[in-house]
A and B are shown apart, each in its own frame.
Chain A
Amino acid sequence: MTTQDFIQIILYFTLLIGLTPILGNFMFKVFTGEKHFLLPVFGRLERWTYSFSGINPEEESNWKSYTIHLLLFNLTGFIFLFLIQIFQAQMPLNPANLPNVSWHSAFNTSVSFMTNTNWQGYAGETTLSYFVQMIGLTVQNFVSAATGIAVLLALVRGLSRKSTDQLGSFWTDLTRSTLYVLLPLSILFSVVLVGQGVVQNFKTYETVQTVQGATQVIPQGPAASQIAIKQIGTNGGGYFNANSAHPFENPTPLSNFLEMLMILLIPAALTYTYGKMVGSTRQGWTIFTAMLILLLIGLSISLYAEYSSNAIFGKLPLMEGKETRFGITNSILWSTTTTAASNGSVNAMHDSLSPLAGMVAMINLMLGEVIFGGVGAGLYGMVIFVILTVFIAGLMVGRTPEYLGKKIQKFEVQMAIIAVLAPNLVILLFAALASVTAPGLTGLNNAGPHGLSEILYAYSSAAGNNGSAFAGLNANTVFYNLTLGAGMLIGRFGIIVPVLAIAGSMAKKNITPTSAGTFHTDNWLFLGLLIAVILIVGGLTHFPALSLGPISEHLLMNKGITF
């Protein structure tokens, strides 16, 4: 690595840390209904949303109604997206005359975009029309991210309110997240991206005679508007098949740097918003620091693995599946951040990463997408681990565990355990099923331990609602489309429902004032415990599978063995 590589990494994290309180504070104002500078511009849109839909923004609901509103809204989106895909050929804005999508692929894609996963079994440029990309996918990019923020807000209200069963209004949370945070940032960022070379038009694909006289079809489309929100909303679903490795999706090192920054921007800033909303920014920074430390550990291991020589290619830089303009450092910084946040966009092919760098990406998914994680989703997932940590610490000292003055009791711990187990169950059971059945094994692109890694990665990505892939796996089959679709649903709602239940039960409790016996959750001791709990839970669950996949591949690679 050169000095320039280190400068880029330092610049990246400096900007991220600097922007966290700025955007975090702005979002605090938005979500608590304070005045902010976007109200004069977008305030009217908010009022129109409510009057058009017949919503009373003042009307709050308890956790059960909040959950029902959320589920119905998501179901509506799913059905709409499914229908416009299977009837794509009858819809407008389809200059490439793409045919109807198969039912199982449409099911998978609809679930995928509704759950903020953006796993893609299809190739964008040869499967989906401009109509579906815009009216179907771009919309879900916004509202699935807003759904994640809404769940987080309900949880925060549960933690900071007392003796009530009201958690706020899902409709208001959804609307404000979309109108004041996601939409303005996306408009701004789309324009910047086009300035760097991302396409944004409605022209037909351009067929050209190349310099050497061959024919090349150059795809077009309204790409920038979708790419901006897929980075900002931790969605990650590419407009083109190669995602942000495609020169039209990520043309320059600057576009790359900004797209990478957008991956973590909102998840990071939300920790600050969280701190302000629970009444102590230290609580927010503690969580931020835990996330940052876990991210930096992963990044260091990945960079070390990629820059090490190996017995197969010697000292040759590992440029397979990487772009010249990004090189190794930017590819690894991206692969680590995109898997830590449940973004899942890629600028290099993860299937071709060195075994340990691929493993770090996989571990980021397996830990439950809590290292910054998805917009909203990462933080509420992290609060689940905070509750577990407080509970375990309580057991050790023999006191009733408390978090932010609220007693953690049987119900909260049960719900937290469900939220931790649901995605892990998906990963282990489905990956085991795919590894021993013909429909699972026929999709493999690589033999040996790397084949297992492809399967393991796919289900980890689905369960973590990440969406990135070891893309050699041919997953556009009935088997993979259905099992991965089920995995995404369990990984999303298997966490959201328990989290909302915890929010509902916490809201009812009283807040105990801080005393000499209070176990503090905003210091280094707690931070260390939290990181330990995350790593132990993840390690105990996944080490056996990882040792058969990436770890044995790494050892075999260093003996020069190929498959």
Chain B
Amino acid sequence: MNPCPHCGSAIHEEASFCPYCAEPVNARKEIHPPRHMPRRALYSALIVFAAAAALALLAFGLHNRPRTYESDTGELEYGGYRLLLTRGRDVEPVPLASFHAMVDYAYRTPAPLYAISLEDGTAAPETFLDGVASVTAAISSPNSLVSISCTEPEALSEYYPEAVVLSLVDFILKGPGDCAAQLLYTITMKNGDVIRMRQAYTFESISIYTYTAQDAPIDTIEELQALVDRACEEIGEYDQLHLYLPAITYAGGLEIRDRLVRLYGSLAPDGQRTTFTGTTRISSPQGVSEFQDIAFQGSGQDVGILVSGTTRFQLVNCRVSGWETGYQAVDSAWIDADGTIFADNRVGLCFDSADTPMVSDNYYTGNTFQSNDTAVLLKRVGSDASLGFPGSRFVGNGTDIDNRCGQKLELEGAVFK
């Protein structure tokens, strides 16, 4: 126990507050959130700062010491270390990072800096940092097509234990086309040396091909399948196919391979909505495919939507009912659902996949699982990511969640009745 500095009462060593005199006894840090500068002013300031810094460094560099080191190959040797600017966990130099991106979508990508000891070839972030006075990062593009920024480099040892520091690059393509940017890491050493490492970025917009019932015959499952097959053959590897479907029942299921496809269903005034009665199979390696506002109505057998390969797939505001298994991930696929009703299935949603290379959303938000024998069956889940069910309702199921693989769950916000 310690005495309170205000009243002298004996209080706990770790107390922040004296309950006897009601006075705080801890040091409190005042937080003043930054005021976000208007972008134009920020850019102007950055340009002026960069110009001033360049001039200063130029003048400084005319002398022998301290020295300035430059690299635009993603690697550089300095003081017994091999410095590498990379794009992920692979400790390989990445002088150029290329992205295919959708217009108006916010993307984030890491740009870690590694320091490999030339002596033993191991990552030596801490010993290198001992000699570092500061590290900054800046990114700019001569093209206004991309809005781009990067975070201050910081050590994220929890996720990148071998990296010295990591800057996260955020970008949004504002329109279709190609553009480029350059990331500059400036490492100032305690001995005055300055290391500048550059990483080039290129961005290419993803094209979206949209079809409606006015553009192509899609009144039967055969016509729809023919359109999907042809489009997937003709569009680029990273392009997307978006289909707006009429409010009719397709007698059968759809098979989608190799391309990212988004299906948007519709609802007729008489209550008829876009419906598939056969198994829909999805295996598209790129990106995240998605179906919205579609009903999948089975007859007690088969799988309603079978997602395979390394596909990441999402259902939004759909209805999956009357299947042996309503919605299933196999191979290394990842599935997600938001606002979707799973009703009267033997199994509503089933994970039976392993080694998923990349998860999409791991929160199953606002769904209703009703009157299924088993609402959610987790045989194998290919990631350690916890599964959350915020705002989802489980009503009248035989088993709500059969968690056979012991996946970590977040059930806060889920309702079980």
Partners in one complex: no
Q: B residues within 8 Å of A by Cβ?
A: none
